[in-house]
Amino acid sequence: MKLPHRYRLIIGYDGTDFHGWQHNEGFRTVQGELTQAAGVIVGGPVEVEGSSRTDTGVHALGHLVRIRLAKEVDVYQFQHSLQGVSPRDIEVIDCVEAVSDWHPRFHAIGKRYLYRIWNSPRRPLFGERTCWWVRPELDCEKMQQAAEGLIGRHDFAAYRSRSKQEREDTVRTLHQISVLRHGSSVSIQVVGDGFLYRMVRNLVGVLVEVGRGLREVDDPTRILASTDRQQAGFAAPAPGLFLMEVACRGEPLPQCLEQPMTL
């Protein structure tokens, strides 16, 4: 049965206690919690689809969602009711009616991710659930230089981790990469037309090694050309990653912000 009424949501969530976005029987997921909460409100069938399948522990401040219902609802009332029923680690930021053929994943043309690092010998007093603590001092200028060679349309096979649900096409376009420091807080922002499984975390892992002096500035570009995942090393931990913004057809591409999020 096709549910006729479609709505476009923007949601945020603290991914710490979720087993990722996608419904997984027996595990707590963002999609599962939203589906259950919406079902309580409308008392009928609900379908929830998202723009990205964020991994376990990854956060969001701008995840696009399509929710399909059997009956029409007032968007203002539905948004506030959904927020009231949803758990505390999910925020319903916006709700509008969606055109009939709109899909948050298939119509997406650009996404912005933010990765947060706390760069200090001192452990972060607040925000440890939402950053990566890196003790050695990072050279952000070298990290930015290293990132420049990744901008453009390339085969990013070397920066993806294998996923059974992912297509074999590994060509993507990165529009922008920025590395910013504000005190002990370092942010890496990436804007692209799409991202492979764990691609941002793998990129960040290599850039941090450049910043620590463990790799040369031209290593990220060399790794890219190799298309060999083994060359890229480890992925940055999930807690530092945020899905910040998703743009769909007819909308402007996201832009990297000049001010990093601070603790």
Could you say which of 55, 94, 219, 228 is catalytic?
Answer: 55
Residue 263 CB coordination number (10 Å): 16
pLDDT value at position 180?
A: 96
Domain 5-97 shares a fold with domain 110-248: yes
- Summarize pLDDT for 226-258 with one digit per residue, the tens: 999 999 988 999 999 999 999 999 999 999 988
Contact by Cβ (8 Å): 69, 215: no
Contact by Cβ (8 Å): 118, 134: yes
Q: Structure tokens of 80?
A: 């506030």
pLDDT value at position 161?
A: 87
Measured at the alpha carbon of residue 51, what is the angle toward residues 181 and 160, in degrees to the nearest 5?
Answer: 60
Q: Is 219 a catalytic site residue?
A: no
Where exactly are the structural domains of the chain?
A: 5-97, 110-248
pTM: 0.94
Section 98-112 average pLDDT = 94
pLDDT band, residue 1 (cuts 50/70/90): low
User: What is the rounded radius of gyration, in angstroms, for the C-alpha atoms of the chain?
Assistant: 19
Give domain 5-97's CATH architecture.
Answer: 2-Layer Sandwich (3.30)
pLDDT band, residue 162 (cuts 50/70/90): confident
Q: Which CATH class is domain 110-248?
A: alpha beta
